[in-house]
Amino acid sequence: MTGGDHANEPRRIYAIGDLHGRFDLFRALMRTIERDHAARTPAVTRIVLLGDIVDRGPDSARLVRGCMRLSQLNPRFTVLRGNHEEMMVHALRGDLWAYRAWLDFGGRETLLSWGASPALTDDMPGIRELRAAAQLVGRDVIDWLARLPLTLRHEDHLFVHAGIRPGVAVDRQVPRDLLWIGEEFLDSEEDHGVTVVHGHTIAEDGPEVRRHRVGLDTGAYRTGRLTAMGLERGERWFLQATEAAAPVAVERREAAEHRQAVAAW
């Protein structure tokens, strides 16, 4: 939480799950949040995005630029770093292996949203293509993504992209787990001392509410469902933006890509 007058600290939180380039759903959900906020008792409010705003979907560039502007205009608009932002930064800062891996992990769609030519996203690009892609995206964007925080704490809730390592104190968690952890966290019944609000793992029928965690990733880019959770003084409620598009059967491909990426990072 930010310092200053206690009366100005956020009391109401809206957390939004993985966006993956779905600017359309983000815009629709923000309108829903605005209406929900207006219907409630006035309160200082924070909005937090749980990471993975880039890759896979069609409008990463517009989404990133919009989030950059919002975070500059309002210090209570927070974007957390996800594993896709982490990969994008490593790739565009000059790691050719990371660049090639990122393209197959959703980065190809991201570059196309920036207007990249097909030559920059070929199967085996070289360092020249990498440098051209980095120039296209821009240093300001890459540096902003690199500075995104990994966690946000609000009272007895911890907001993070993937989750935390059970049995490890919150202040001793390592970035790899915060960005990438899976079953070890998802299957744990351990009391973490906080309720963890996370994305990263898709629950298409979600949100997924468990005793010590809440999963908000409902697979927006493939299901057309983007989910948010409101939180205020122990009360939780959920909001969604949806579209009529049918889900795309890509679960098997994504699982293989995820295993490869985790092993590499």
Q: Please give the radius of gyration of the chain, using alpha carbons only, rounded to the nearest integer.
A: 18
User: What angle, 0 to 180 degrees and rounded to 10, lies between the N-to-C axes of helices 23-39 and 60-73?
Assistant: 40
Mean pLDDT of 172-201: 96
| Segments making up each domain of the chain, as ranges | 12-83+151-264
The token pair that represents 214 in the structure block: 């809440």
Within 10 A of 75 (CB to CB), how many other CB atoms are there?
Answer: 9
Instruction: Give the right CATH number for 12-83+151-264 from 3.60.21.10, 3.40.1350.10, 3.30.497.10, 2.60.40.420.
Output: 3.60.21.10
Model pLDDT, residue 265: 41
The token pair that represents 196 in the structure block: 């963890």
On the question of a cis peptide bond just before residue 207, with omega within 30 degrees of 0, the verdict is yes
From residue 108, how far is each of 7, 78, 122, 259 by CA, in Å?
45, 26, 9, 19
Model pLDDT, residue 206: 86
Which residue in this structure is represented by tokens 């020249």? 128
pLDDT class of 250 with cuts at 50, 70, 90:
very low
Q: Which of 79, 84, 56 is nearest to 179 (CA)?
A: 84
Phi, psi at residue 229, to the nearest 5°? -120, 130
Q: Which is it for the CA torsion 86, 92, 97, 101, positive or negative? A: positive
Amino acid at 249: A
- Separation of CA 129 from chain center: 26
pLDDT in tens, 45-88: 999 999 999 999 999 999 999 999 999 999 999 999 999 999 99
Model pLDDT, residue 186: 96
Within 10 A of 48 (CB to CB), how many other CB atoms are there?
Answer: 24
Model pLDDT, residue 6: 56
Q: Which of 52, 137, 131 is nearest to 87 (CA)?
A: 52
pTM over 0.85: yes
157 touches 169 (CB < 8 A): no
pLDDT in tens, 76-121: 999 999 999 999 999 999 999 999 999 999 999 999 999 999 888 8
